[in-house]
Every structure is written in structure tokens, then in C-alpha cells.
Amino acid sequence: MLHIGLTGGIAAGKSTIAAALVDLGGHLIDADVIAREVVEPGTPGLREVVEAFGDDVLTPDGALDRPALGRLVFGDDHALARLNAIVHPLVGELTRARVGALPPDAIVVHDVPLIVENGLAADYHLVLVVGASEQVRLERLVTDRAMTAGDARARIAAQADDEARRRVADVWIDNERRPDEVRAAVGRLWQERIAPYARNVEARAVADRPGPPRLLEPPGPPRTWPAQADRILARLRRAGGDRIRSAEHIGSTAVPGLVAKDVLDLQLGVDTLADADRIADALGRAGFPVRAGEWVDTPKPNDPDPRRWDKRLHGNADPHRAVNLHVRVVGGPGWTYALAFRDWLRGDDDVREEYAALKRRTAKGAADTRAYAVAKEPWFTEVWPRLQEWIDAEGWQPPAA
């Protein structure tokens, strides 16, 4: 089952995108609709709201007077927190029930207005953000919802800004174009990314990425490689739970200014490889299936026993976001080397440039990414004594797990 989080600022036009996704085969779970259902007349939710805020939040016929409630909580953080403490658990419970009734291969579209504001991005395989300029949204609120310009500006200002949304967005959907252009863009997204991603998650298959290596300069903000890694690591932590002792962005994309393939290398630390195997299925459901076979890092001279360098390797089922996920034992030589090497490159300009030159030479002659990785591997052993000297000189210690 693939879970898509659909969000955007007020009046950005989420409903248009949601309808297009449903037409393509998605199953819509609308958080606003569910939030209304859990406080309908006669529900425990409505009784709790009245107990908290008084009878003035009811209409004469006993329904929830939403404008009256809105006036009480808008701009009052304490009152809003009381309301959320009542409504959010009920919404979560009903959402889980609706999702549980869907087929296992469903593509679920969660229309949730405040994914960014409430830090919910880790709940979804993909976050789609519907975007429109503040001026366009202001005009829509005044024209279509009969708001005053002042009220519309206040509602917009109370939400996250576009920079915060872009940091979270796996896909940004520009909703200022003609409706036919927007629907065509959503159709391409479904065909090229969403549908194959869903098939891969269902089959526990890593997305295939053929072709030669291509080195890129690091992207600028807000969707930097570290920002993308942070969001994925949050999802992995959520999936793996307490068995995950550490979660780190490693490899070239974790080093500012270093050219790299557009592949995020991430590392999860566990107590034992048995723990790695216990969370493998959960990581697969989260979109990171285990790669079949036995995986061993190249032993370094100070610790030559290959059994100490065993790991588990996962990859991303998303065809548009390449990830190598290394699961290693906390404190083991492979776990330690990955972190030390990253921090060495971050702290030593000369070795960073040396490695960049090696990457460029190797990429030119490599037929594919596997050949590229194999060609670079001897260098990591060659520089081990220098890395150890740096560790000793700096008194480097790995981040606390």
C-alpha cells in the first residue's frame, strides 16, 4: 500500500489535484471531511468539544457552529491545542479504520492541509504539495469564499510559507496553470512515479536505475541533499522504531560542496544484524526493500575479519529518488568508518578535492554505477592510514547512538 500526503496552503487548489488522483485510481482520505464526521451531532467528539468550549459553539439545531468555534481558537494557541487534543485522536482512529478497509495494493491519497505545520511528512511515502502564489490564493479566498482581504491574509499568514513547504515536498504541483495542463502533469506523475512506486512497494522491489554514473553539483536550498535525507531518515526511524539506534546521512551527498551522483547514502545503526533482519519488512513497507544477497564492506587493515564488516543493504522503491540504505551494527568497523570518512571529507579541503578528482576520473570510464563503485573501492583502503591519523589528531568520536 502506497500512502501519498497531499497538502498545500489555503486556496492553493488541493481539491482539484485530489479529484485528478482519484480519477487515476487513488483512494481519497480527506482529513477535513473526517474531522467533520467525528464531531457530528450525537458523537462523543462533539460532546467533548462542548464540554471544553461551552454551548456557544453549537447551532440552534445542535450541530457544531464552526465559525463560532473558529473565533474561539484562531490566534489562541492554548485553545487550539485543547481542540486538537480532542479531535486529532478521533481523526486518527477513523483514518486507520478507513485505510484498513482498502485493498493491500491501494494507492491512498491523504488530503491533509497541515502536513508541514504539524510535522507529519514522515507518515507518507510521498508528499505532494499543491502550490500557488500568495496573490492568487488571496484572490481566490476573496472571490470564491467571500472573505475580506484582511481575513484572507491572516489565514495565509497563520500557515507555513512556501519555503517550508518546498523543503518537505517530494513533488511540487504548480496549480496556477490551465486546468488541462495541471491534470496532464498529474497524469504524468501518476504514470512515471506513483504507479511504479506502488508496484515496487507491493512487490518489495528496489527501483531499477540503469545507465552510467552522472556526477552533479549539490543542489541549492530548500531541497538540498541533506534536507531530503533528513525527511527520509525520519520515515525510516518511524518504520524501524526502537531497534534503530542511530540514523545518519553518509556518503558524498552528506559532504557540502562535493560532486556526487544523485543518490543518497543513509546509514541505520542497530545493536545486532538480527535486529536488522527483524525490521527488514517494516522498512520494506516504508518503501525501502532489502536487497537480496550477502553484503560485506571491504575490511580495512586494522580490522581484517570480514565477518565484522557484514551489513544489510536496502534500496528505494521510488523510481525518482535513489537511496542506498546501509544497516550496520552500532560501533562496528563499517558503521564507524562510514561516519569517520564523511567527517574527514567535511573537515579537510585537500582530501575532499582529492576524492572529487578520483570520482570524476572514475565516472568517465564507468559503464554503470556498479562498475563506478568497484573502481573506487581500492582508494578507501589506500587512504585508511591517513584517515586514522586524522581521527587521532582530531580526537574524533562517532556521534552518540
pLDDT per residue over 92-109, tens digit each?
Answer: 999 999 999 999 999 999
Is pLDDT at 333 greater than 90 in this prediction? yes
Q: Which residues contact 87 (CB under 8 A, 6 or more apart)?
A: 35, 38, 39, 45, 49
97: domain CATH number is: 3.40.50.300
Residue 74 has a pLDDT of 79
- Residue 179 within any structural domain of the chain: yes
Is pLDDT at 331 greater than 80 in this prediction? yes
Question: Do 59 and 155 belong to one domain?
Answer: yes
Question: Do 166 and 281 belong to one domain?
Answer: no
Question: Is 11 a known ligand-binding residue?
Answer: yes
Residue 353 has a pLDDT of 97
- Please report, rounded to a whole number, the percentage of residues in the chain having pLDDT higher than 90: 88
Looking up cell 493491500 gives 104
Which of 143, 170, 203 is a domain's end point? 203
Question: Do 189 and 255 belong to one domain?
Answer: no
| pLDDT (average), residues 36-41 | 95
| pLDDT (average), residues 332-353 | 97
Pick from 386, 323, 326: which is nearest to 352 by CA?
A: 386
Confidence of residue 321 (pLDDT cuts 50, 70, 90): very high
Question: Do 150 and 232 belong to one domain?
Answer: no
Question: Do 92 and 185 belong to one domain?
Answer: yes
Question: Do 178 and 230 belong to one domain?
Answer: no
Question: Do 239 and 139 belong to one domain?
Answer: no
**Phi-psi region at 290: left, alpha or beta (left = phi > 0; alpha = psi -120 to 50):** beta
Enter the C-alpha cell of residue 84.
Answer: 486538537
Distance of CA 343 to the CA centre of its chain: 24
Q: What mean pLDDT, rounded, does the chain reach?
A: 95
| pLDDT (average), residues 326-351 | 97
| pLDDT (average), residues 63-81 | 89
Is pLDDT at 158 greater than 90 in this prediction? no
Question: Do 62 and 100 belong to one domain?
Answer: yes
Residue 75 has a pLDDT of 79
- Residue 370 within any structural domain of the chain: yes
Provide the 8-state DSSP code for 303. Answer: B
Is pLDDT at 395 greater than 80 in this prediction? yes
Residue 70 has a pLDDT of 87
381: domain CATH number is: 3.30.460.10
Confidence of residue 154 (pLDDT cuts 50, 70, 90): confident
Confidence of residue 77 (pLDDT cuts 50, 70, 90): confident
- Residue 281 within any structural domain of the chain: yes
Domain tally, the chain: 2
Is pLDDT at 155 greater than 90 in this prediction? no
Backbone angles phi, psi at 25, to 5 degrees: 125, 0
Question: Is 97 a known ligand-binding residue?
Answer: no
Is pLDDT at 401 greater than 80 in this prediction? no
Domain that holds residue 46: 2-203
Residue 237 has a pLDDT of 97
Which of 203, 238, 253 is a domain's end point? 203
The Cα–Cα gap between 171 and 193 comes to 10
**pTM assigned to the model:** 0.91
The Cα–Cα gap between 296 and 186 comes to 41
Element (H, E) at 380: helix 369-382
The Cα–Cα gap between 49 and 31 comes to 18
Question: Do 367 and 274 belong to one domain?
Answer: yes
Q: 302 or 244, which is more confident?
A: 244
Is pLDDT at 231 greater than 80 in this prediction? yes
Question: Do 43 and 180 belong to one domain?
Answer: yes
Count of beta carbons in the 10 Å neighbourhood of residue 394 = 13
Residue 93 has a pLDDT of 95
Residue 76 has a pLDDT of 85
- Residue 211 within any structural domain of the chain: no
- Over residues 189-198, the pLDDT tens digits come to 999 999 999 9
- Residue 131 within any structural domain of the chain: yes
| pLDDT (average), residues 22-33 | 96
Question: Is 16 a known ligand-binding residue?
Answer: yes
Question: Do 194 and 73 belong to one domain?
Answer: yes
Confidence of residue 147 (pLDDT cuts 50, 70, 90): confident
Question: Is 280 a known ligand-binding residue?
Answer: no
| pLDDT (average), residues 114-142 | 93
The Cα–Cα gap between 255 and 218 comes to 9
Ranking 141-155, 226-240, 321-335, 369-383 by mean pLDDT, the lowest is: 141-155
Residue 207 has a pLDDT of 97
